[in-house]
Amino acid sequence: MLRILDAKSGETVPAVSARRALTRVEVHTSGYDLTALRVLLTTDLLLRALELGGTPVLPLLTADHHQAELHAAATTLGIRPFEDGRDLAAGLGEAQVVRVTAAAGTVPGTGTVLGTGTVPGTGTVPGTGVTVAVAPADGPDAGVLGTLDDPAALRLALLDAPRGTAVHLGAGALDAAGRRLGRLRQSVAQWARSPSRPVPEKVRGRLRDAWEDDLDVPGVLGVLRWMENQPEIPDGARFETCAYADRLLALDLTRDLGRTA
């Protein structure tokens, strides 16, 4: 079961109380910057992890401004589509609720304080359910997303750090993430040429342990690196492992299949 740090209580708790019950996942953000994109990406991970665990979800986006830009960025980054939270949230009765928002603190370079006891963009104090806080990110303007040949490089750069740690994307960070992603995709394409083998149970267990422990994406990526250095794991199993992990990561790891000579 997915366990996550609840920003309201400061304790690690089950993300949902009833695994099979419909869960309303609300993303609350304001502005259009790298922090907002990181909040969207964290919400996407949460949605994917809950569904992998058998929980039906309904993703809702609540934002006072930049609705169109946020929806477009979500599509570009491979994020699940959001419904309009203001239109639907009130009519969903007793559905479980998980809220995702920016963490308390100041966005570097802006002076904007986030997460000070209210849901950004609403002016209301979160009610029942778990609240997931996301540390700020800074670096290039969010508009850089429209200039990238491979937006998944930005996805990887923003996800490759613990959710509670602030991220600074300095010069060259996106290029480095793109190169790292390219190498992994090439490996996956090469492994795909071998006969398929099941994901080893010990590897599957380590992946699930990582992402069910507070959405530990760096831990998931670490398992993939560890797997590469285990000579007893057949290449076909390496391929299936990456395809399985990509159900959470959504980095399009199988994109280069058929391109490797």
CATH placement of domain 177-249: 1.20.120
Boundaries of every domain in the chain: 3-151+159-169, 177-249
Predicted pLDDT at 184: 96
Q: Which has more confidence, 120 or 197?
A: 197
Q: What percent of the chain has pLDDT over 70?
A: 87
Alpha helices in the chain (DSSP H): 34-52, 67-76, 85-88, 152-159, 173-191, 201-211, 217-228, 235-249
Q: Are 56 and 96 in contact (CB under 8 A)?
A: no
> How much is the average pLDDT of 82-94?
65
Q: Are 20 and 55 in contact (CB under 8 A)?
A: yes
Predicted pLDDT at 40: 97
> How much is the average pLDDT of 76-94?
74
Instruction: Provide φ and ψ at 135, rounded to 5°.
Output: -65, 155
Q: Per-residue pLDDT for 197 more than 50?
A: yes
Predicted pLDDT at 189: 96
The pLDDT confidence band at residue 91, using thresholds 50, 70 and 90, is low
Predicted pLDDT at 171: 86
CA triplet 246, 252, 253: central angle to 5 degrees? Answer: 70
Determine which of 112-126, 160-174, 196-210 has the lowest per-residue pLDDT on average: 112-126
Q: Residue 122: which of 62, 168, 170, 70 has the closest Cα?
A: 62
Which pTM was predicted? 0.88
pLDDT per residue as tens digits for the range 114-162: 343 344 433 333 457 899 999 999 999 888 888 899 999 999 999 999 9
Counting every residue written for the chain, the total comes to 261
* Three-state secondary-structure class, residue 21: coil
Predicted pLDDT at 125: 36
As a whole number of angstroms, the distance between CA 51 and CA 45 comes to: 10
Predicted pLDDT at 127: 57
The pLDDT confidence band at residue 65, using thresholds 50, 70 and 90, is confident
For residue 77, give the DSSP letter: T
Q: Residue 135: which of 110, 115, 156 has the closest Cα?
A: 115
Tokens at residue 203, please?
A: 């590897």
* Three-state secondary-structure class, residue 198: coil
* Three-state secondary-structure class, residue 144: helix
Tokens at residue 161, please?
A: 């750090």
As a whole number of angstroms, the distance between CA 40 and CA 87 comes to: 19
Strand-strand pairing, 83-84 and 57-62: parallel
Q: How far is CA 26 from the centre of its chain?
A: 14
As a whole number of angstroms, the distance between CA 173 and CA 138 comes to: 12
The pLDDT confidence band at residue 108, using thresholds 50, 70 and 90, is very low
The pLDDT confidence band at residue 32, using thresholds 50, 70 and 90, is very high
pLDDT per residue as tens digits for the range 228-257: 999 999 999 999 999 999 999 999 999 999
Q: Per-residue pLDDT for 94 more than 60?
A: no
Predicted pLDDT at 106: 36
Q: How far is CA 91 from the centre of its chain?
A: 27
